């Protein structure tokens, strides 16, 4: 069952025929007014067609060119995405790569550390210093004895300052 709006539209566009047309026209309270409105609708349609018929597209070739570029760009992006989805192996391979990178970094770090430590290793202590350090001042023999050590490693120099010693240790090399 068509609504009045549908029938009216069909009537305006001459889409009603036969009994449907007769029924509809018979149902109109004022046929003359309806005909006038139909004529108005026609004028409106003509006006729209006349004034709005295809607005020109300027730079048609550029329009197509821009579209082609967009399609290429989108296709590239789509291929990249689908490629990443299709080959999980490429994702898996990043793990060994990471492992290798980590191992390499660790090795470099260790080498650097060893080198730095080697450079900073204190100079071999002098024989005298070792002897003094190993020796113990006998507190019975020299109760007020003090021993001070001044060391400048980069110059490989050590100064031993003793005070209050009654005797030097028997194994002291300077003896």
Partner 1 sequence: MQTEATLAQSDVSELDLVKRCQAGDTEAFDELVTRYRTRVFGMIYNMVHSEQDAWDLAQESFLKAWKSIGRFRGQSSFYTWIYRIVMNVTIDWLRKKQIKGGGTEFDDGIQLREIDPASKTVPKTEALPHQAMERDEIRTRIEKAIGQLSPEHRAVILMKEIDDMQYHEIAETLGCSIGTVMSRLFYARKKLQNLLRDVYENV
Contact positions toward partner 1, by CB under 8 A?
Answer: 2-3, 5-6, 8-10, 12-13, 15, 37, 40-41, 43-58, 60-61, 63-64, 66-68, 70-72, 74
Tell me how far apart the terminal alpha carbons of the chain are, to the nearest angstrom.
Answer: 132
Residue 90: CB minimum distance to partner 1, A: 24
Helix/strand/coil for 70: helix
Q: Which is nearer to partner 1, 67 or 99 (CB)?
A: 67
Task: Assess contact for 172 and 146: CB atoms under 8 A.
Answer: no
State the minimum distance, in angstroms, from the CB of residue 24 to partner 1.
13
Spatial distance between the Cα atoms of 9 and 31, rounded to a whole number of angstroms? 15
Q: How far is the CB of 38 from partner 1 (least distance, A)?
A: 10
Pick the closer one to partner 1 by CB: 39 or 149. Answer: 39
Contact 158, 124 (CB under 8 A): no
Residue 64 or residue 167: which is nearer to partner 1 going by CB?
64
**Is the CB of residue 172 less than 8 Å from the CB of residue 132?**
yes
CB nearer to partner 1: give 27 or 90: 27
Per DSSP, 29 falls in state S
What is the smallest separation between the CB atom of 73 and partner 1, expressed in angstroms? 10
Distance in angstroms (rounded) separating the CA atoms of residues 168 and 142: 10
Closest CA to 145 of 123, 122, 119, 172: 172
Tell the smallest beta-carbon distance from residue 113 to partner 1 (Å). Answer: 56
For partner 1, which is the closer residue by CB, 53 or 119?
53
């Amino acid at each position: 069952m068509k609504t009045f709006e549908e029938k009216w539209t069909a009537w305006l566009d001459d889409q009603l025929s036969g009994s449907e047309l007769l029924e509809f026209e018979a149902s109109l309270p004022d046929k003359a007014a309806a005909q006038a409105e139909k004529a108005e609708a026609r004028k409106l349609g003509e006006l729209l067609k006349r004034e709005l018929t295809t607005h020109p597209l300027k730079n048609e070739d550029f329009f197509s060119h821009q579209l082609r570029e967009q399609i290429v760009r989108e296709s590239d992006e789509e291929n990249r995405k689908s490629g990443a989805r299709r080959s999980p192996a490429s994702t898996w391979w990043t793990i060994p790569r990471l492992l290798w990178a980590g191992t390499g970094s660790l090795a470099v770090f260790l080498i650097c550390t060893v080198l730095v430590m080697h450079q900073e290793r204190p100079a071999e202590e002098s024989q005298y210093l070792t002897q003094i350090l190993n020796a113990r001042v006998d507190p019975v023999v020299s109760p007020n004895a003090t021993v001070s050590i001044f060391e400048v490693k980069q110059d490989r120099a050590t100064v031993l300052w003793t005070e209050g010693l009654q005797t030097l240790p028997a194994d002291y090399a300077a003896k």
